[in-house]
Chain A
Amino acid sequence: MNSLADFLPAAPEIFLALSALALLVLGAYAGERATMALNGLAVLLLIGAAALVLRPVLAGGGIARQVSYYGLYVTDGLGVFAKLLVLLGAGLSLILAMRYNEREGIGRFEFAVLTLTATSGMLTMIAANDLISLYLGLELQSLSLYVMAAFARDSVRSTEAGLKYFVLGAVASGMLLFGASMVYGFAGTTNFDGLAKLFTDNDSAGIGVIAGIVFISVGLAFKCSAVPFHMWTPDVYEGAPTPVTAFFSVAPKIAALVLFLRVMLDPFGGLFAEWRQIIWAISVASMVLGAVAAINQRNIKRLMAYSSIGHVGYALIGLAAGSAAGVRGILVYLSIYLFMNIGTFAVILCMRRAGKMVEGIEDLAGLSRTHPGLALALGIFMFSMAGIPPLAGFFAKFYIFMAAIDAGLPVLAVIGVLASVVGAFYYLRIVKLMYFDEPKGSFDAPGRELQAVVLLSALVILFFFAWPDPLVNAADAVAAALFAG
């Protein structure tokens, strides 16, 4: 472990961490004038990190599973896939944030730095092959996110969101750490491969390890805001500055779900029958609560919070299936979810009336007359989230339910589709406001960058059905590789 090549597997994380430090220095010297430029630079750096993630693929070789740093760190297909999604989510939300921060008077360069450190943490989470590196990545991510939630430091709501997120997040991290220590105490190792060798079947784990797994699940469920550890989500989503909410709703969620998947399937894969019921219950609770609780929301950011809780529930069906088909379903779901959510938040960022942001869903009334393009895009996102074909959201759910039926979980699938009908109600309500109601006033003209993001996401969601092969096949290959080893 002393040549440069030994460090290469973690090149994206190292690159992002160094970039964050460099941006910090640059920002400190250049002052606030350069914020926009630094933001742009950060986007380029994220693209650079994506190139580094893709390096093994670009170099022509396939993505073989490779464990490095004395077993702490793993690079595999799942990692590459998820890292690209996280980087894409981070990059797009950074683009959404640029002008917003400037206009809201929070245009400070630390935003880009924090995004980079958080992203670096997420990549580490995804690549964790040991409970220690898992915790390191998770904390690097979480600490950056706490600060980002409170980024509008003069706003009471934002600081409250940050504080709430921090206190509850710290408790969850503590739980996770406690669970990890229990697992270590009973198993004698923190390494995933070592744990996987120990727990090959259901009889191989004692009650202590099971308790440890439960605590770890609690921590991870909190991070991806699954019921019953979702309480922070609506408040933090509502309070945080909107681009931060957009970021929260995609990148950390994808990272946490992939981590969840890896922890459950890799070290504890042999204990499938033990933890399956936990995931089953979390999944059902999330789907149902996400569908029912969103009905009465008046604030669009809160509504999106509940919607994201519901989506996590659907994604977790794939984990409850515990099969290659399930992993494939989760990956397809997360990819499509990323575009639906970023697109929706881009539209929410366009909701600006006479220079002030508005967040009530009633403010969308008559959008189809004042901004037909935006209304069409948001309509596409809403129908897609409700899972109506031929939009991409349908295929996301399709692959998930496919895995559920294949794994013999018809009850979970039936609950899932019924919850999706309930959920369709509030998505339709937004369509109704935009298309059936009379306008109450127009929004300010949206910025170029917002329009571009909305257009990109809408096209992806609308035309996914015509060319689903690349995404589905990639997810399929990744999932198959995960179960082959």
Chain B
Amino acid sequence: MSANQLALWYLVASVLFILALKGLSSPVAARRGNLFGMIGMAIAVLVTLAITKKVAFILIAAVIGGMIGAFVARRVQMTQMPQLVAAMHSLVGMAAVLIAVAVVNNPAAFGEHDPLPGGNRFELFIGSFVGAITFSGSVIAFGKLAGLGKMFRLFSSAPVVYKGQHPLNLILAIVMIGFGVAFFLAEGKAWTPFLVMLAIAFALGVLIIIPIGGADMPVVISMLNSYSGWAAAGIGFSLNNSMLIIAGSLVGSSGAILSYIMCKAMNRSFISVIMGGFGAAEGAAAAGSADKTVRSGSAEDASFLLANAESVVIVPGYGLAVARAQHAVKEMAQKLIAKGVNVRYAIHPVAGRMPGHMNVLLAEAEVPYDQVFEMEDINGELGTTDVVLVLGANDVVNPLAHEKGSPIYGMPIIEAHKARTVLVNKRSMAAGYAGLDNPLFYMDKTMMVFGDAKKVVEDLVKALE
């Protein structure tokens, strides 16, 4: 196969990748899109195999990896998706680093000049350091998301902060770039600056992720998604491979947009998320709440209100995902629908532990997606809703977001306070992630149902029988 033919096949694959992403604009088109993606990948791999010499050797590696991937894809639980995605980011990063090392070792294998020209070395430097940061950062993110904090302190889901953290990271970044420039300027293979640069990049990946934790994880995971794409694009530059550049750029911009959406939904700037340390003083109830009274009730009281409502909107939050109560919620909703209640779900963009996580959790529980609404689509209807049931959410329904001067002013919220009656399930009166008191809990029309989300919802199901 000529280089031109190869490039044309790669073009076909690139277009198929774009179509795969385009399909995700609706659930129906998405399945066809995914198929396009698979076909694109098959084309890319097959035409590349056709120009290599040791097909069997490569296929063995691919089959081993493919079997592991297929096994994991089949067995993973939907609650574990954030960890899985983090693990996958780390693999992309590591693959980028390994390829970069192989290019330095033997540029001729990639059709490059030996020794590698300066321009390619510069691109290789970018691709490999982004890859290294993606790898080690994603490993830390994986540990945090999988809750391995007890095994290893750096995996702690609480932010790890220490004095001089940011200056240290900055110095390391400058030193890393210094070695990268040395690699770029050096003659021949220049292993020393290249490997030192890589080692610093691996360390940096760990250091920039450990201070970020708690509810900021959706941003971290989107950010690493973006990095993994830029790493692939960087490798594409150094190999002069348009398909890799296109695929990498698509993924890079996708991750960047998701990070932006997540930051906006949390009313946080990207910089402040990266600086980390937020939520370290979690659990401290805001001052001034002692003199206010809340009305609390049992699951039976709540079930009475729900069963007599005409319309119910369920607001599932992080707490629901933690308690893994989504199947119980579905069961409860079915019971209500059987009684003629109009049940819908309102999803805040940062509900769950990664972008869109709550939608997948509800879909897994077989909640029909036409009952599930995005925040902006349902907010207008909450004023005429009889009961809003808030499950394990706090800041995303805090009406303080509408009050000038409050720390969360401007944050988009689900306007639960507009409903006729509000039921809130929480484990305690502790403040949410933003450390703020929530006036919603003290409203006359609000009834609190304390307890673990799963336990409470199961009690509701029983009470509805």
B and A form one assembly: no
Residues on B close to A: CB < 8 A? none
